[in-house]
Amino acid sequence: MGLLGLNPVNALPANSIIRGYDKTLQMITMLDDIYETLSGDYLLDKKSVPDAKRMKINDKELSKSNNVTITLMDQLDGMAIYDPNPLIGNEQMPRTKIFTCYSNIFRKAVGSPGYGPDKKDAEGYGLYEKWIDRLGDWNKEHHGMSIRQALLERFGESLVHGRTSSLCVRAWTPNILVAGLGRRTMKVTYNANNATYTTNIVNAILTSGGGSISPLVTQTLNQPNLSNANILALANRITQISIPGLPGGKGWILTHSEEQGMYLGDPAWSARNLGSLYTATICLNEKVQNWPGVMGAYKNFLLVQDVRQPTLIISGTSSPFGMTAGYVEPGDEDERQKDNINTRDTATILGKAAVFDWEREALRHIKQDDDYEYQLGHGTSKVEGVTMPIYDQQNPDKGTLRQFSSMQMVLGLPEYV
């Protein structure tokens, strides 16, 4: 350890010390992240949710609080008062539900030599300068992972540690569809007990597979499953966002893996393709064509390929089953276990304000010097909260929660079908 606790910087291997030739280092390519596009700000003064899939908030006044509460007003429902009944005493009063977003700090640091032979040996490469620059890439990937976690398990990574861990306990989104089932049974029955809900999900997968976990072609992102998902997104009031080129100019973004995209883009897969109902990318609005990953459109869905689309990994051979989520973590750490036959693919239906993204304290540079600056530590710090907007989540046992912003579809992985 260094004098003040910093890890000492490793010297370059002997065969990497610069000899006056080949000054180019080969880097691992970062995967693109689709969530940097189409985001909007929550307007505090108007209590206005943006017409975008990601809702951001960075209000300076709210940064002084340790949580943010957003209020949802229920729709005016029920019938009128008809003759000869009196209206007085039958007024309908406003009904509201709330969700609370918390924030927590996370930090990341790298080490480098301040001066001396180790620094000079790597100086021609600019290695340590590039290593420090990688903090920017890491933060982008960490943020993208947190968004996907919130869409599937309600909370981003920073919230499930430390001071917020007891307040932000992960549980599956209440809106889960299982591909391969009919429209009436495709949506899994929600249960506030996450263990029970997990078993409900796995039992639905077993039913769709005829009693087996092994994936079938009927469980992929095909025309029947997309059509049923479109109907259920409407039935469950998933709020549409503006997407130029879709019917009526509104719809949902549906993100899917490259494996699902392989079948969607295969014209030889004629028995289950989307036929003339599919709108190719080239026929879409020019602005939409430039969004990352766009493959085309089907009914009210803009189909977007996400190479970081998470998976679900099933465990156990009988009830109660277990299930964990697999994500692409920062760098080249892929925890999705796509070579596991018990792994299921997912597709995400994104409506208006699908994710609440609170930047309580902006990303900042931090540093630590050791041994008279012989060793340097550079890092970043941020206070954020990435959350799925679930209203009335403080009392989930009452069964009154509302989630109108997204859905998850559970699919079979095409490599096994």
The answer to whether 403 and 238 have CB atoms below 8 angstroms apart is: no
Q: If pLDDT is split at 50, 70 and 90, which confidence band does 244 have?
A: confident
Q: CATH code at 119?
A: 3.30.2400
Instruction: Over range 158-186, report the average pLDDT.
Output: 96
Distance CA 348, CA 410 (A): 9
Distance CA 245, CA 114 (A): 54
| Beta carbons within 8 Å of 136's beta carbon, 6+ residues apart | none
The number of CA neighbours under 13 Å toward the Cβ of 211 is 0
Model-level pTM? 0.85
Q: Which residues of 200-229 are buried (b: 16+ CB within 10 A; e: fewer)?
A: bbbebbbebbeeebebeebbbbbbebbbbb
User: Measured between alpha carbons, how far is residue 258 from residues 148, 215, 263, 398, 414 in Å?
Assistant: 16, 17, 9, 39, 10
User: 183 and 61 share a domain?
Assistant: no
Least confident of 162-171, 268-277, 307-316, 390-399: 268-277
| Predicted local distance difference test score (pLDDT) of residue 43 | 47
- Respond yes or no on whether the N-terminal peptide bond of residue 84 is cis (omega within 30° of 0): yes
The answer to whether 368 and 4 have CB atoms below 8 angstroms apart is: yes
More confident: 104 or 17: 104
End-to-end CA distance of the chain: 52
Burial of residue 5, with CB atoms counted within 10 A of its CB: 0-12 exposed, 13-18 middle, 19 or more buried: exposed
Instruction: Over range 130-136, report the average pLDDT.
Output: 87
How many CB atoms are located within 10 Å of the residue 302 CB? 28
Query: Does 282 score more than 60 pLDDT?
Result: no
Residue 19 maps to a domain: no
Residue 16 maps to a domain: no
Distance CA 315, CA 125 (A): 46
Alpha-helix residue ranges (DSSP H) falling in 236-323: 258-264, 286-289
More confident: 12 or 142: 142
User: 153 and 274 share a domain?
Assistant: no
| Predicted local distance difference test score (pLDDT) of residue 131 | 84
More confident: 66 or 182: 182
Residue 191 maps to a domain: yes
Q: If pLDDT is split at 50, 70 and 90, which confidence band does 411 have?
A: very high
User: 209 and 146 share a domain?
Assistant: no
User: 231 and 316 share a domain?
Assistant: yes
Supply the range of the domain harboring residue 271.
Answer: 176-351+396-416
Q: Output the CA torsion 40→41→46→51 (10° steps).
A: 10
Query: Does 91 score more than 90 pLDDT?
Result: no
| Predicted local distance difference test score (pLDDT) of residue 26 | 44
Decide: helix, strand or coil at residue 263.
Answer: helix
Number of domains in the chain: 2
User: 318 and 193 share a domain?
Assistant: yes
User: 333 and 382 share a domain?
Assistant: no
Show the tokens assigned to 193: 């007990």
Q: Which of 4-13, 154-163, 217-226, 372-381 has the highest mean pLDDT?
A: 154-163
| Beta carbons within 8 Å of 290's beta carbon, 6+ residues apart | none
Helix (H) or strand (E) holding 150: helix 127-153
User: 281 and 360 share a domain?
Assistant: no
User: Measured between alpha carbons, how far is residue 107 from residues 111, 363, 380 in Å?
Assistant: 14, 9, 6
Query: Does 184 score more than 90 pLDDT?
Result: yes
User: 239 and 342 share a domain?
Assistant: yes
Distance CA 17, CA 30 (A): 26
User: 402 and 370 share a domain?
Assistant: no
More confident: 325 or 121: 325
User: 313 and 183 share a domain?
Assistant: yes
User: 277 and 401 share a domain?
Assistant: yes
Please count the helices (runs of H) and the strands (runs of E) in the chain.
6, 17
Residue 4 maps to a domain: no
- Whether the CA torsion 219, 221, 225, 231 is positive or negative: it is positive
User: 126 and 252 share a domain?
Assistant: no
Residue 105 maps to a domain: yes
Query: Does 397 score more than 60 pLDDT?
Result: no
